[in-house]
């Protein structure tokens, strides 16, 4: 379903003893996921990929709806890949992206318990 950093998956619901902050590694991993979505364009891109009936989207179909050039969209997609919110597969000329939807749900669960 997804390829979460182990620190996120293992910490779900485990935080924290009263008066004790979450450990640095977990907080860093969670913040990385949320930061990747802290931009309206990346929110739009992920929403389109999640909503795709094919289960994946070509970068060539992502540019028009957000009104940005392909290099700019590819940059945004790189941040979503690095946060493990999507996976990327190169097929011929184009890159295709699939959602790893468990990443965001697990991050929210790790934070909210």
The site for a second copy (CB under 8 A) is made up of 15-16, 18-22, 24, 27-28, 30-32, 34-48, 50-53, 61, 64-66, 101, 104-105, 108, 111-113
Residue 23 CB, nearest distance to a second copy (Å)? 9
At 44 the three-state DSSP class reads helix
Structural contact between residues 106 and 6, judged by C-beta atoms closer than 8 angstroms: no
Q: How far is the CB of 101 from a second copy (least distance, A)?
A: 5
Q: Which is nearer to a second copy, 6 or 105 (CB)?
A: 105
Closest approach of a second copy to the CB of residue 6, in Å: 17
Minimum Å distance from CB 88 to a second copy? 19
In three state form, how does the secondary structure of 10-67 look? HHCCCCCCCCCCCCHHHHHHHHHHHHHCCCHHHHHHHHHHHHCCCCCEEHHHHHHHHC
Q: Under a CB-based contact definition with an 8 Å cutoff, are residues 42 and 36 in contact?
A: yes
SS3 37: coil
Of the pair 3, 21, the CB lying nearest a second copy is at 21
């Amino acid at each position: 379903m997804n390829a979460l950093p182990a620190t996120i998956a293992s910490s779900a619901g485990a935080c924290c003893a009263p008066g004790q902050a979450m450990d640095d590694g977990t907080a860093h991993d969670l913040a990385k996921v949320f930061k990747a979505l802290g931009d309206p364009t990346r929110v739009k891109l992920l929403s389109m990929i999640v909503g795709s009936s094919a289960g994946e989207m070509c970068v060539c179909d992502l540019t028009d709806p957000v009104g940005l050039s392909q290099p700019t969209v590819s940059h945004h997609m790189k941040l979503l890949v690095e946060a493990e919110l999507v996976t990327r597969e190169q097929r011929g000329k184009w890159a295709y992206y699939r959602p790893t939807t468990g990443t965001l749900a697990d991050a929210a669960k790790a934070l909210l318990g």
